[in-house]
Amino acid sequence: MLYLLLKAGISAVIIVAVSEIAKRSPGVGALVASLPLVSVLGMMWLWRDTHDPVRMAAHAGATFWFVLPSLPMFLLIPAMLDRGAPFWLALTAGCVLTIALYLALTWAGPRFGLRL
Look at residue 1 in the predicted model and tell me its pLDDT: 84
Instruction: With 0.95 as the threshold, say if the pTM is over it.
Output: no
Look at residue 34 in the predicted model and tell me its pLDDT: 86
CA distance 103 to 93: 15
Look at residue 29 in the predicted model and tell me its pLDDT: 87
Burial (CB count <10 Å: 0-12, 13-18, 19+), residue 90: buried
Helix or strand (DSSP H, E) at 15? helix 2-24
CA distance 116 to 110: 7
Is the confidence at residue 72, as pLDDT, over 90? yes
Helix pair 53-67, 37-50: axis angle to 10 deg: 160
